[in-house]
Amino acid sequence: GAGVSQSPSNKVTEKGKDVELRCDPISGHTALYWYRQRLGQGLEFLIYFQGNSAPDKSGLPSDRFSAERTGESVSTLTIQRTQQEDSAVYLCASSLGTSTYNEQFFGPGTRLTVL
């Protein structure tokens, strides 16, 4: 079956603009995760969804970042008033659930460049 897909694959924007990043999880996966990978750094957890509820938003770097999910389907990560430090690869993952054995499967990522 299809894996996790993300769009766009690349996004170049000007400082101060808003951007939306999209993630389509694997069909049937109830849990969805967003991570960020800045150049030369490890992956950072941003937020996760169980269904369309986001129990933990503690990884979001600032109130310029928000995310939503429609049912157990598509999720959108929105960054308002982008800054140069937002430049990173944003990775989405999904899993069947969040219990002990739940392998996370990752999408190809969206590379965001803020000029």
Partner 1 sequence: KQEVTQIPAALSVPEGENLVLNCSFTDSAIYNLQWFRQDPGKGLTSLLLIQSSQREQTSGRLNASLDKSSGRSTLYIAASQPGDSATYLCAAHNDYKLSFGAGTTVTVRA
Give contact residues for partner 1 (rule: CB under 8 A): 31, 33, 35, 41-43, 45, 48, 50, 55-56, 59, 91, 93, 98-109, 111
Residues 4 and 26: beta-carbon distance below 8 Å? yes
Spatial strand order in the sheet of 65-69: 5-7, 19-24, 75-79, 65-69
Could you tell me the smallest distance in angstroms from the CB atom of residue 54 to partner 1? 11
Could you tell me the smallest distance in angstroms from the CB atom of residue 3 to partner 1? 9
Whose Cβ is closer to partner 1: residue 17's or residue 107's?
A: 107
What are the beta bridge partners of residue 6? 23
Whose Cβ is closer to partner 1: residue 1's or residue 17's?
A: 1
Could you tell me the smallest distance in angstroms from the CB atom of residue 82 to partner 1? 21
Strand segments, DSSP code E, in 57-104 are 65-69, 75-79, 88-95
